[in-house]
């Protein structure tokens, strides 16, 4: 495709009915980019609907949407499907995937290895968030980043860059944020809305989990096992564990942080974090997992004892060379 951005803007201007969707269990980027594009279509006076198979998560219920978030695919829909932040078609959920008209679909994404599942595919892996790509659409259509559009784009970019701390944060990313601030976004009011959304259940889970940190390799590896028992006891789930691995990575002199979560009996999901040259991707790939040099993960089906031993042994071999 010569210039998918221009082509997408032509369709947004020329057509009238759109369904915007993102991956189920939406994160800040999925929800923020969906809303931002909705606000753009609203500004253009177009008909549109927004859809997410799993709806708006509890922690983002406060967020201003351009219209009601549908959780059912509309029966009679003849317009264009715009799919955001989905590395492959299955991420949008099966119902929409089956309903989507492959001849009238747009895929806007930043994941590596995107399967180019739509009619028009705009995939840019250098973008830290889809929200940044939606900004380019707004600019092309001469729509300013004021009010709810700016808020939605800020949510997208801030959450996918760890509030501008990950390596994917580029000068251009901060220039977009500067533009949003010039249009009036008040960070002291807005950022607490995004960040201060923890439930007491989650705090209870972390309290139990943090009390069980295990240290290995001369205290250079910190590991936590989150068991089904802990999750049941605190009435929490997988999403409540998010961020735990980054948190224990903050212990001084720890080079690798690991959180292992019991998914079902004898099935464990693990996340690894490191920084700089310490490559945890090679450790994850030993178990068929994936990710990046400093953030990777995967799954092991065996006993907890086996998982603990294999992960520490593999780290000894592949990372610490001991």
> Contact residues for Mn ion (CB under 5 A)?
29, 85, 160
Based on CB atoms, which residue is closest to Mn ion, 157 or 241? 157
Residue 46: closest CA among 22, 18, 19, 70: 18
Cβ atoms within 10 Å of 47's Cβ, excluding its own: 12
Nearest approach, Cβ of 109 to Mn ion (angstroms)?
8
Based on CB atoms, which residue is closest to Mn ion, 85 or 240? 85
Nearest approach, Cβ of 260 to Mn ion (angstroms)?
25
Residue 242: closest CA among 59, 40, 46: 59
Calculate the CA 201 to chain-centre distance. Answer: 22
Based on CB atoms, which residue is closest to Mn ion, 124 or 263? 124
Task: Report, in this order, helix, strand and coil percent for the chain, each rounded to 5.
Answer: 40, 20, 40
Helix (H/G/I), strand (E/B), else coil: 27: coil
Nearest approach, Cβ of 78 to Mn ion (angstroms)?
29
85: left (phi over 0), alpha (psi -120 to 50) or beta: left
Question: Which residue's Cβ lies closest to Mn ion?
Answer: 29
Based on CB atoms, which residue is closest to Mn ion, 85 or 151? 85
Question: What gap in Å lies between CA 248 and CA 246, rounded to an integer?
Answer: 6
Rg, C-alpha atoms of the chain: 21
Nearest approach, Cβ of 128 to Mn ion (angstroms)?
8
Based on CB atoms, which residue is closest to Mn ion, 110 or 255? 110
| Three-state SS letters, 43-77 | HCCCEEEEECCCCCCHHHCCCCCCCCEECCCCCCC
Which residues, including other chains, have CB under 8 Å from residue 299's CB and lie 6 or more apart?
Answer: 263, 267, 268, 269, 270, 287, 288, 289
- From first CA to last CA, the distance across the chain in angstroms is 49
Nearest approach, Cβ of 16 to Mn ion (angstroms)?
28
Based on CB atoms, which residue is closest to Mn ion, 29 or 179? 29
Question: What gap in Å lies between CA 163 and CA 294, rounded to an integer?
Answer: 17
Which residues, including other chains, have CB under 8 Å from residue 2's CB and lie 6 or more apart?
Answer: none
> Tokens 């264009």 map to which residue?
80
Based on CB atoms, which residue is closest to Mn ion, 64 or 125? 125
Nearest approach, Cβ of 32 to Mn ion (angstroms)?
9
Nearest approach, Cβ of 304 to Mn ion (angstroms)?
32
Based on CB atoms, which residue is closest to Mn ion, 85 or 262? 85
Question: What gap in Å lies between CA 280 and CA 278, rounded to an integer?
Answer: 6
Nearest approach, Cβ of 160 to Mn ion (angstroms)?
5
């Amino acid at each position: 495709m010569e210039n998918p951005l221009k082509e997408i803007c032509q369709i947004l201007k020329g057509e009238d009915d759109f369904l915007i969707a993102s991956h189920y269990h939406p994160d800040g980027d999925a929800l923020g980019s969906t809303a931002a594009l909705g606000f753009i279509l609203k500004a253009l006076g177009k008909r549109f609907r927004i859809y997410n198979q799993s709806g708006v998560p509890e922690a983002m219920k406060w967020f201003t949407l351009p219209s009601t978030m549908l959780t059912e695919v509309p029966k009679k829909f003849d317009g264009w499907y715009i799919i955001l932040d989905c590395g492959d078609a299955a991420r949008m959920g099966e119902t929409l995937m089956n309903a989507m008209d492959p001849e009238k679909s747009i895929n806007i994404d930043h994941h590596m290895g995107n399967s180019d599942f739509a009619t028009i595919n705009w995939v840019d892996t250098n973008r830290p968030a889809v929200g940044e790509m939606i900004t380019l659409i707004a600019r092309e259509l001469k729509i300013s980043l004021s009010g709810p559009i700016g808020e939605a784009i800020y949510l997208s970019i801030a959450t996918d860059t760890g509030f501008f701390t990950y390596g994917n944060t580029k000068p251009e990313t901060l220039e977009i944020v500067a533009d949003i601030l010039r249009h009036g976004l008040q960070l002291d009011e807005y950022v607490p809305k995004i960040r201060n959304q923890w439930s007491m259940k989650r705090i209870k889970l972390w309290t139990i989990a943090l009390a069980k940190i295990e240290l290995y390799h001369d205290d250079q590896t910190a590991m936590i096992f989150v068991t089904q028992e802990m999750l049941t006891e605190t009435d929490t789930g997988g999403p409540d564990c998010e961020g735990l691995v980054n948190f224990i990575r903050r212990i001084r002199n720890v080079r690798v942080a690991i959180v292992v979560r019991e998914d079902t009996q004898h099935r464990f999901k693990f996340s690894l974090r490191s920084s700089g040259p310490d490559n945890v991707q090679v450790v994850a790939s030993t178990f068929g997992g994936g990710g990046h040099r400093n953030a990777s993960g995967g799954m092991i089906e065996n006993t907890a004892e086996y998982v603990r031993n294999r992960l520490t042994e593999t780290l000894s071999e592949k990372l610490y060379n001991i």
